[in-house]
A = this chain, B = another copy of it.
Amino acid sequence: MNLQISIQPNLKLALRDPEASALGRKIIREGIVLMCQLGYEQFTFKKLAEAIDSTEASIYRYFENKHRLLLYFLTWYWNYVEYQCTVSMHNLNDPAVKIKKIIEILTGGLPSWADTSDIDKSALQDIVIAESSKAYLTKEVDDINSKQLFKPYKDLCHHIAIVFSEYNPKYAYPHSLASTVVETAQFQPFFMAHLPSLTDFGGEKGNTRKVSEYLESLVFAALSAR
């Protein structure tokens, strides 16, 4: 089973396929680590070029700008989550069990099994938590959306919404609940680490189990109401 196929990001994101060359792969591998360290705002192509012993101009031949590189990272991540969900639910029938599995995956609680890529998934997840909103909270959002670049994220939410509807076909807000859950799965760990008074979870780093429990109780309550 080749994992690469299913997590291949949209090629429109990049000017040329970064997985097809040594330099491209270095841009992705090291880019993830560096953006995680510096944060999106402080991250620059110049710094990345220094880190991988290349030049700014060479990186620009792969990605128009750092926002596209961020989108590439996020696309990789959402495709990976989607893939994990698909595989995990392959032989599950009970929607309740499926929902629990989805939440476990979303909060990163599922140990990522070995795959062929050497992406630093922990760094990638930190990027998703801290930067993913910046993918769409921009004036370019409609333009980017019209190029289908949010498709993996929207598809994931849609598939989650379908499982919610399976559990309770009468529920009126499956898509809103799906996007709320996906967003909350990023925000609550961030709050836990930096603004703990916005949560009810102890400061123990990586207390993702608590976040899962909260989300489970929220989802099942919403889907079971009245």
Residues of A within 8 A of B (CB): 38-39, 41-42, 130-131, 133-134, 136-139, 141-142, 145, 150, 154, 157-158, 172-180, 183-184, 187-188, 190-191, 194-195, 197-201, 214, 217-218, 220-222, 224-225
Contacts and interface: CB of A to CB of B under 8 A. Distances in A.
Contact of A176 (B38, B136, B139, B198): B198
Contacts of A133: 133-134, 137
Contact of A136 (B38, B42, B180, B195): B195
Contacts of A224: 221, 225
A24 to B, nearest CB: 27
- The A interface is mostly helix, strand or loop, or mixed, namely helix
Contact of A130 (B137, B150, B199, B200): B137
28 contacts: A38-B139, A39-B139, A130-B137, A131-B137, A134-B137, A136-B194, A136-B195, A137-B190, A142-B194, A145-B194, A145-B195, A157-B197, A157-B198, A158-B197, A172-B200, A172-B217, A173-B200, A174-B200, A176-B199, A179-B198, A180-B180, A180-B188, A180-B218, A217-B222, A220-B225, A221-B221, A221-B224, A224-B225
A138 B217 CA distance: 30
Given A136-B190, A145-B194, A179-B187, 14 more contacts: A39-B138, A137-B190, A172-B200, A172-B214, A172-B217, A173-B218, A175-B198, A175-B199, A176-B200, A179-B188, A179-B199, A180-B184, A180-B218, A220-B225
Nearest to A157: B198
